[in-house]
């Protein structure tokens, strides 16, 4: 088998590709079968459908309802990512006696699915009306029905309605006291977490539900994986995440420092961590200090982050620089012997842009100037220029930072025509770095 194909196979599977049978050995991989059906009205013609192996029985039952009979042979023709049973498949497999209630809604669901793109609100109301009908007869069908409706909105990138309907699926389980298939629910939560359609409320409620239903250690393991997947899907950690996580860790009897270090170590690699709220960085500050001491790559990762969730003022910027100092990340910017691949000029350019917070200037920050002074020997030795004239709307630089770089002989990129400088010295400040230096 082609080595490049084998290497790329896991990523292709995650993206929804159909692979050759037996390409990867993963728990979330499923066989793709070719199922052949006959019907008296079709004479000698056959209907062939490509169906994932785990969904094959549901497909057979649905087509049997329409009078089609499957031929015995169902060869494996490929490999796909495993799917959880949706609606009406779940109903047909788990309660075939009441399957007609599910099948009776299929045409209405298809009609509403066609509306979902252009008339999302009307489609959502339609799905909720169908759910009311379904709940009167077979309430145990509601969770999979709501999930299937949520998937319709995911197809149209409407994560808001998808998350709302997913929440209704979980509410139906609680209201009707329905038994929960833990393996299936774990899969569907991961599915919606990866799609970015898990709300903060859904996660908090899920943490409580897991505590009630599962062994404490398993409850923590499932919640941890969901939180990491959700962050990896592009949704920032929510404000109360540290408290929810600590409650589960304590219930499980785990060592908090060890458990939190592993948890934060996974979260910190996610791109969405830049939007983590101040409560996240405050709660996990000691953990990050410990983690950075044990794992040098954490310090490098902290320098890659320009936090947008801390706030848009000088205090927020100082708080971040304080964290860099406590974790030792700032030494990678000042140590001339550092071999961690960190480019101090690039970091300072990005930091200067970040501190403008969408404007063309920023407040004077004594902690930034103090760090730049310590960085100066390394910046001079590297000889790479620092670009202070960046901005979302107008190219501009703060005069105090520019003056500091000039005073300490730090190479600075020449500004483009029309660039501005913005003096923003704090009240009572009588000197600039250049004045102090001279």
pLDDT, tens only, 74-87: 999 999 887 777 89
**Is residue 395 pLDDT above 70, yes or no?**
no
Q: Kindly state the tokens that stand for 45.
A: 């013609």
**pLDDT tens profile 334-360:** 987 777 788 999 999 999 999 888 776
Give dist(CA 100, CA 238) in Å, integer. Answer: 41
Decide which of 22, 46, 81 is a domain's last residue.
81
Strands 420-422 and 76-81: unpaired
How many CA atoms within 13 Å lie on the side-chain side of 8?
Answer: 11
Residue 57 lies in a domain: yes
Q: Kindly state the tokens that stand for 436.
A: 């102090």
Give dist(CA 342, CA 351) in Å, integer. Answer: 14
Q: Which residues pair with 50 in a beta bridge?
A: 34
Strands 69-70 and 47-52: unpaired
**Residue that the structure tokens 């993963």 belong to:** 26
**Is residue 412 pLDDT above 80, yes or no?**
yes
Average confidence (pLDDT) over 290-307:
95
Give dist(CA 432, CA 430) in Å, integer. Answer: 7
Q: Is the peptide bond before 88 cis (omega within 30 degrees of 0)?
A: yes
How many CA atoms within 13 Å lie on the side-chain side of 344?
Answer: 28
Decide which of 53, 81, 109 is a domain's last residue.
81
Residue 136 lies in a domain: no
Decide which of 29, 55, 81 is a domain's last residue.
81
Q: What is the pLDDT of residue 427?
A: 39
Strands 420-422 and 396-398: parallel
Average pLDDT score over the chain: 88
Q: What is the pLDDT of residue 174?
A: 93
pLDDT band for position 48 (cuts 50, 70, 90): very high
Residue 434 lies in a domain: yes
Average confidence (pLDDT) over 223-252:
92
Q: Judge residue 67's burial from the number of C-beta atoms within 10 Å of its C-beta, 0-12 exposed, 13-18 middle, 19 or more buried.
A: exposed
Residue 155 lies in a domain: no
Number of domains in the chain: 2
pLDDT band for position 47 (cuts 50, 70, 90): very high
pLDDT above 90 as % of the chain:
60
**pLDDT tens profile 254-270:** 999 999 999 999 999 99
Range of the domain at 397: 329-438
Residue 380 lies in a domain: yes
Q: What is the pLDDT of residue 85?
A: 79
Residue ranges with strand state E in 194-349:
none
Residue 236 lies in a domain: no
Q: What is the pLDDT of residue 410?
A: 93
Residue 158 lies in a domain: no
Give dist(CA 47, CA 349) in Å, integer. Answer: 62
pLDDT band for position 430 (cuts 50, 70, 90): very low
**pLDDT tens profile 91-116:** 988 898 998 999 899 899 999 999 99
Residue 408 or 416, more confident: 408
Q: Which residues contact 287 (CB under 8 A, 6 or more apart)?
A: 257, 260, 261, 264
**Residue that the structure tokens 């959700």 belong to:** 230
**Is residue 436 pLDDT above 50, yes or no?**
no
**Residue that the structure tokens 């200090």 belong to:** 289
Give dist(CA 131, CA 145) in Å, integer. Answer: 7
pLDDT band for position 210 (cuts 50, 70, 90): very high
Residue 87 lies in a domain: no
Q: What is the pLDDT of residue 280?
A: 96
């Amino acid at each position: 088998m082609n080595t490049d194909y084998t290497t790329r196979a896991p990523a292709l599977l995650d993206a929804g590709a159909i692979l050759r049978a037996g390409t990867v050995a993963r728990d979330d991989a499923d066989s793709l079968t070719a199922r052949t059906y006959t019907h008296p009205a079709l004479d000698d013609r056959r209907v062939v459908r490509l169906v994932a192996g785990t969904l094959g029985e549901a497909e057979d039952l649905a087509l049997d309802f329409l009078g089609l009979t499957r031929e015995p042979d169902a060869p494996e023709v490929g490999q796909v990512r495993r799917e959880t049973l949706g609606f009406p498949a779940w109903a047909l497999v788990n309660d075939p006696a009441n399957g007609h209630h599910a099948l009776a809604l299929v045409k209405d669901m298809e009609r509403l699915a066609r509306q979902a793109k252009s008339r999302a609100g009307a489609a959502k109301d339609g799905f909720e009306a169908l759910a009311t009908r379904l709940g009167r007869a077979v309430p145990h069908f509601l969770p999979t029905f709501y999930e299937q409706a949520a998937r319709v909105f995911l197809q149209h990138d409407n994560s808001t309605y998808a998350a709302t309907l997913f929440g209704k699926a979980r509410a139906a389980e609680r209201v009707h006291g329905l038994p929960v298939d833990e393996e299936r629910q774990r899969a569907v939560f991961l599915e919606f977490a990866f799609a970015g359609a898990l709300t903060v409320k859904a996660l908090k409620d899920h943490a409580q539900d897991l505590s009630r239903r599962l062994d404490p250690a398993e409850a923590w393991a499932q919640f941890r994986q969901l939180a990491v997947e959700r962050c990896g899907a592009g949704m920032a950690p929510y404000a109360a995440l540290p408290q929810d996580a600590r409650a589960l860790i304590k219930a499980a009897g785990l060592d908090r420092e060890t458990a939190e270090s592993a948890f934060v170590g996974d979260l910190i690699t996610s791109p969405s961590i830049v939007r983590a709220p101040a409560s996240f960085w405050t709660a996990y500050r000691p953990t990050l200090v410990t983690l950075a001491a044990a794992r040098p790559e954490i310090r490098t990762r902290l320098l890659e982050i320009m936090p947008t969730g801390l706030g848009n003022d000088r205090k927020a910027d100082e708080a971040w620089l304080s964290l860099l100092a406590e974790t030792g990340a700032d030494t990678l910017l000042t140590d001339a012997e550092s071999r961690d691949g960190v480019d101090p000029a690039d970091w300072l350019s990005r930091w200067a842009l970040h501190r403008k917070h969408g404007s063309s200037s920023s407040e004077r920050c004594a902690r930034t100037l103090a760090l730049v002074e310590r960085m100066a020997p390394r910046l001079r030795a590297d000889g790479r220029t620092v670009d202070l004239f960046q901005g979302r709307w107008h190219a501009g630089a703060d005069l105090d930072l520019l003056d500091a770089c000039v005073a300490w002989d730090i190479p600075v990129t020449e500004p483009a025509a029309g660039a501005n400088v913005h003096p923003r010295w704090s009240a009572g400040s009588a000197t600039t770095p250049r004045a102090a230096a001279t």
